[in-house]
Amino acid sequence: MARYLVTRAWHSALTLLLSTVVVFLGVRALPGDPALALAGEDRSPEALEAIRHHYGLDQPLPLQFAQYVERIVQGDFGVSIRTGIPVSSMLTTALPVTVELSVLAILLATALGVGAGVLAAVRRGRPAEWLANGLALVGLSVPHFWLGLLAILYLSVAAGLFPASGFVPLLQDPVGNLHHIVLPAVILGTGLAAIIMRQTRSAMLDALSSDHVRTAKAKGLRPRAVITRHALRNSLIVVVTIVGLQLGGLISGAVVTEQIFGLPGFGKMTIDAVFQRDYPVIQAVVLLTATAYIVINFLVDLLYSVIDPRIRVTGDPA
Amino acid sequence: MTTVERAAAASSAVGTPVLEVRDLSVTFTTEGGTVSAVDRVSLDLASGEIVGMVGESGCGKSVTAMSIAGLLPDSARISGSVRLEGTELVGARESVLRRVRGKEIAYIFQEPMTSLNPVLTVGRQIGEVLQVHERMSRRAARARAVELLSLVGIPSAAKRVDNYPHQLSGGMRQRVMIAMAVACGPKVLVADEPTTALDVTVQAGILQVLRDLRDRLGTTILVITHDLGVIADIADRVVVMYAGRVVERAQVTDLFAHPYHRYTAGLLAASPTPGKHAGTERLQEIPGLVPVLSTQPDACTFADRCPAADEQCLDSAPPLEVVRTGSAVPVTDHLAACWHPCPTPRTQPQETTA
């Protein structure tokens, strides 16, 4: 297991380095000149030159990259070209919002999706299954932003149950924080919940008709033990995979959801930065997203071997 | 009851039926209509005996076995009676059946790879039965699992108990299944094709384990197989099934010596006999396939594949009864459901029954 971890960590580090290169070059391949964007009215060659020199944009690319990596390692993502605020401090305010939103959305979606999926499989051909299938179809087909707008309109404005927009930091006011973030998290999680529900349902149907579930029944176990210990546990691989794969969709969904609910998270920061060619911010955002992906993939792989002992990795003595 | 007491009780009580199956019928409702899988099957299992149930694929053996402890899916409709020491199991409440399953009636299935849960250790899977039925703690159950693993002949059981099924060989997995089945000292063990997925040497080992269980614990065993070799090797009595009906029932030696039903005779003729077929004589096959019946006709269902069939066979179903042919003295516990039983008993070389 230790050897596996080391190999896997090494692969992750390599992927991370590669994604840094891609991010660095990718941003510079975008059309548009940040100096032009910053210069405003004064577009004289001298002014542009001065801006380029100030931000190190006149250096050769490899040198820029080397300096970039060196700074990242020290936790310095540079200074936003647009606002002049250090990117790291922008991240410390924006990141917790997005992380909280995403984590809550994943938790809600998993709980709802797995629960409904199991129910639909166990109560196959009965009203509970139809209801779960119908809800999943709605969750899959209705776009977030529309659901979000509806929720604001009816739940926040008309019924006054939730605030329509805004955010309170978690540490400042936990209850108020939850009150603000629950609705966006539910909206963000609907699509994921629907996907998880459908996958759980089909995995459970497979598992419930498998030979080892018949064995479990023949042992005289209670239905609950048969369903959770012998069918659900074997279906979890699917759920974990889906959650891991859907994370990209969740991050882009978070951008939209944050816009709708006016949450001061990653999403708004990213959109502003792209429009302004704010290289340091874009680099930081993309790099963090890539890091999140890599870390989550790593965790998913680890979870696999926890859930299913057959996926114990080369080098691990049986 | 300790195992010793049970063995003692078993040896003194051979002949009392532990399990009585009467007129058991099973039909399935499928999208393509109803399928009649089992038709009025009756069967007694005496304490401590090994009964073999034999027939082709699709003849209703496994369905019969599953219906004994109510393990069929909801689409199955069961009628008739299954009594375990007098307690009716057909139509019994789930909670009653749950107490019977694994404790009084235990199962071994064909595919030990797929029949064990791949994500739990074998010790946990064996222990589960003990936790449920014997209210053992997880720890005590694990310790007992180690004992059970050595009982079924798994070397270094203390280490194997923490293995997952994929870390064991096919034969070992089947031994695990057996250990799991006998964990609570069941009265009846139903082994559905226990050796089919295993190679021949491993097969012999598994059959030996089953025989040992009967000898040591007095367990009554119903072995379901399509392999006459397994029957000859292990069974005391045989039940031959065809298209959902019992067509012949006898002591194993009687059946191999004089098969009465044409289907049984066909099965025996389709099995190789040492010496006889060596390179010269072709094995005889039974033409056709087991029919899938939507309803059970009042006729012999084997008639369309039978060399001796006539109008009587198509007109009415032959009853399962003691056969009287010519001058031969009838054997009282040898029954066949055939209007035209084989007149001259086929004699089988003794090797098959040894």
Of the two residues A274 and A119, the one the predictor is more confident about is A119
- The one-letter amino acid at B19: L
Which of A205, A211, A214, A215 is the mutation pick for testing B, counting most B CBs within 10 A?
A: A215
The closest CB to that of A218, out of B69, B111, B118, belongs to B69
- Residues with Cβ within 8 Å of residue B271, at least 6 apart in sequence: B228, B229, B283
In chain B, CATH 3.40.50.300 sits at: 48-76+95-104+190-271+292-342
Cβ density class B133-145: b for 16+ within 10 Å, e for less: beebeeeebbbbb
The predicted model gives B205-223 an average pLDDT of 91
Mean pLDDT across chain B: 85
The domain tally of chain A equals 1
- pLDDT given for residue B8 in this prediction: 46
What lies within 8 Å, CB to CB, of B162 at 6+ separation is B121, B123
Q: What is the pLDDT of residue B102?
A: 92
Predicted local distance difference test score (pLDDT) of residue A315: 42
**What is the rounded CA–CA span in Å between residue A264 and residue A258?**
7
Judged by average pLDDT, the poorest of A124-128, A197-201, B83-87 is A124-128
pLDDT at site B275 = 61
Cα A236 from Cα B119, distance rounded (Å): 11
| Residue A171 belongs to domain spanning | 96-268
Nearest-CA distance B60 → chain A (Å): 18
Determine, for residues A215 and B116 on separate chains, whether the beta-carbon distance falls below 8 Å. yes
Beta bridge partners of residue B46, listed in sequence order? B17
- A317 inside domain: no
Write out pLDDT tens, residues A100-123: 898 899 999 999 999 999 999 998
Least confident of A211-220, A240-249, B202-211: A240-249
CA distances from B345 to A150, B259, B303 (A): 84, 7, 20
Between A232 and A166, the higher pLDDT residue: A232
Min Cα separation A183/chain B (Å): 37
* pLDDT (mean) for B294-318: 86
Q: What is the pLDDT of residues B254-302, one digit of tens each?
A: 898 888 898 998 888 887 766 655 556 677 778 777 777 788 888 898 8
CATH (domain of A245) = 1.10.3720.10
Nearest to A218 among B99, B102, B167 (CB): B102
CB neighbours of A54 closer than 8 A, spacing ≥ 6?
A: none
In angstroms, the CA B165 to CA B121 distance is 7
Mean of the pLDDT values across residues A245-254? Answer: 79
> Which residues of chain B does A212 touch, with a Cβ-Cβ cutoff of 8 Å?
114-118
Tens-place pLDDT, residues B182-196: 999 899 999 998 988
What pLDDT does residue A317 have?
42
What's the rounded Cα separation, in Å, for the pair B239 and B52?
A: 6
Q: Please count the CA atoms within 13 angstroms of the CA of B255 that sit on its side-chain side.
A: 31
Beta strands in B169-215 (DSSP E): 188-192
Contact B119 A214 (CB under 8 A): no
Q: CA-to-CA distance for A147 and A151, rounded, in angstroms?
A: 6
What pLDDT is recorded for position B51?
95
Whole-number average pLDDT of chain A:
84
Using only the alpha carbons of chain A, give its radius of gyration: 24
B-chain residues within 8 Å CB-CB of A224? none
pLDDT at A180 over 50: yes
Question: Which candidate from A212, A220, A310 shows the least CB-CB separation from B101?
Answer: A220
| Residue B24 CB contacts under 8 Å (≥ 6 apart), including other chains | B38, B40, B41, B42, B43, B64, B67, B78, B79, B80, B81, B82, B90
Bridge partners of residue B199, in order along the sequence? none
Residue B63: CA count within 13 A, CB half-sphere: 30
Look at the block and give the residue holding tokens 């409702």.
B29
pLDDT at B117: 92
**Per-residue confidence (pLDDT) for residue B9, from 0 to 100:** 46
> What whole-number distance in Å separates Cα of residue A183 and Cα of residue A175?
13
Does the complex come out with an ipTM higher than 0.95? no
pLDDT over threshold 70, residue A27: yes
Answer whether residue A234 is part of any domain.
yes
CA neighbor of B321 nearest in space, from B307, B306, B333, B308: B333
Residue in B155, B65, B43 with CA at minimum distance from that of residue B110: B65
What is the pairing mode between strands B87-88 and B76-84? antiparallel
Q: For residue range B107-166, what is the model confidence (pLDDT) as tens digits?
A: 999 888 889 999 999 999 999 999 999 999 999 999 999 999 998 889 999 999 999 999
User: Is B114 within 8 Å of A309 when comparing Cβ atoms?
Assistant: no
Give me the mean pLDDT over the B300-314 stretch: 87
Q: Give the percent of chain A with pLDDT over 70.
A: 96
* Cβ atoms B23, B90 nearer than 8 A: no
What pLDDT is recorded for position B276?
Answer: 58
**What is the predicted pLDDT for the residue at B281?**
66
Per-residue pLDDT tens over the stretch B152-178:
889 999 999 999 999 999 889 999 999
Q: Mutating which of B95, B105, B115 best tests the A interface, going by the most A Cβ atoms within 10 A?
A: B115
Other beta carbons less than 10 A from residue B91's beta carbon: 12
In this complex, is the C-beta atom of A224 within 8 Å of any C-beta atom belonging to chain B?
Answer: no
Q: Burial, A158: exposed, middle or buried (Cβ in 10 Å; 0-12, 13-18, 19+)? A: exposed
Q: Which residues contact B285 (CB under 8 A, 6 or more apart)?
A: B270
Is B164 an interface residue toward A (CB < 8 Å)?
yes
Angle between helices A87-122 and A233-261 (to 10 degrees): 130
B86, burial (CB in 10 Å: exposed 0-12, middle 13-18, buried 19+): exposed
Alpha helices in A209-265 (DSSP H): 211-218, 223-225, 233-261
| Predicted pLDDT at B222 | 95
Tell me whether residue A91 is in a domain.
no
A40: in domain: no
Residues of B within 8 A of A304 (CB-CB) are none
Instruction: Determine contact: A158 vs chain B, CB below 8 A.
Output: no
State percent of chain B over pLDDT 90: 46
Let me know the angle formed at the C-alpha of B284 by B282 and B285, rounded to the nearest 5 degrees.
130
Distance, in Å, from the CA atom of B314 to the CA atom of B291, rounded to the nearest integer, reads 15
Q: Name the nearest CA neighbour of B186 among B207, B166, B214.
A: B214
**What is the rounded distance in angstroms from the CA atom of residue B95 to the CA atom of residue B79?**
19
Taking CA–CA distances from B97, the nearest residue in chain A reads A220
pLDDT tens digits, one per residue of B14-46: 457 899 999 999 999 888 888 899 999 999 999
Q: Bridge partners of B77?
A: B27
Q: Is A215 in contact with B69 (Cβ distance < 8 A)?
A: no
Tell me the C-alpha distance between B284 and A59, whole Å. 90
CATH superfamily of B48-76+95-104+190-271+292-342: P-loop containing nucleotide triphosphate hydrolases (3.40.50.300)
Q: Tell me the chain B residues in contact with residue A221 when contact means C-beta distances shorter than 8 Å.
A: 98, 102, 128, 132
Is residue B317 over pLDDT 80?
A: yes
Q: Is the pLDDT of residue A43 over 80?
A: no
Closest to B49 (Cα-Cα) out of B218, B248, B239, B251: B218
Residue to substitute from A126, A208, A212, A303, interface B, most B β-carbons within 10 A: A212
Are A215 and B177 within 8 A, CB to CB?
A: yes
Pick from A210, A217, A221: CB nearest B114: A210
CB nearest A220 (choices: B99, B111, B166) = B99
Q: Do B119 and A307 touch (CB under 8 A)?
A: yes
Distances (CA, A) of A252 to A142, A214, A239, A266, B62: 16, 43, 20, 10, 53
Asked whether the beta carbons of A37 and A277 are under 8 A apart, the reply is yes
